[in-house]
């Protein structure tokens, strides 16, 4: 079973974060610049929440708030569901599916060490299945 740690080893280790007092507009600009769908909301090393494009759509646009004047803390999702690096990717997929979110921070000893997206998990599961199919086909052919 593939563990989160194995998945993080293959991923770019850049973590994108924003402070809770920053304006939502800055968060949206950062997401657009880096082509990502969510940012960690952090105060120093402490994870406070996550802000996503979905939060923006539902809590700023639909409520008629100003992106430039609304602080990130007002729209972030908190508390944050998080996983340890030794968790299985299947468990992560179940969490994300059941709780209906697309980004999952990985925390070890109280420190954020990575973030997984639903796309990361789907890609790895597909890759693992393709490897297993290939191995089964070779076994059958031999």
Rounded Cα distance between 17 and 108, Å, is 17
pLDDT band for position 100 (cuts 50, 70, 90): very high
Mean per-residue pLDDT over the chain, rounded: 93
How many independent structural domains does the chain possess?
Answer: 1
Q: Which range of residues forms the domain containing residue 126?
A: 4-141
Tell me if 120 sits within 8 A of 11, measured CB to CB.
Answer: yes
81: CATH: 3.10.580.10
Find the DSSP H helices in the chain: 4-10, 24-34, 53-56, 89-99, 118-141
Mean pLDDT computed over 137-142:
87
Quick: pLDDT tens for 50-86. 999 999 999 998 888 899 999 999 999 999 999 999 9
| CA distance readout (Å), 126 to 15, 78, 131, 140 | 24, 30, 9, 21
């Amino acid at each position: 079973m593939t563990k989160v740690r194995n998945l993080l080893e293959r991923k770019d280790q850049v973590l994108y974060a924003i402070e809770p007092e920053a304006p939502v507009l800055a968060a949206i600009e950062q997401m657009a610049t880096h082509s990502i769908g969510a940012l960690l909301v952090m105060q120093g090393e402490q994870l406070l929440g996550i802000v996503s494009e979905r939060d923006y759509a539902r809590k700023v646009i639909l409520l008629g708030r100003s992106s430039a004047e609304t602080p990130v803390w007002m729209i972030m999702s908190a508390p944050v569901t998080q996983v340890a690096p030794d968790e299985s990717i299947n468990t992560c997929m179940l969490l994300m599916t059941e709780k209906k979110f697309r980004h999952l921070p990985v925390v070890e000893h109280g420190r954020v060490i990575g973030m997984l997206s639903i796309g990361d998990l789907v890609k790895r599961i597909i890759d693992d299945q393709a490897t297993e199919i290939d191995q089964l086909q070779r076994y059958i052919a031999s």
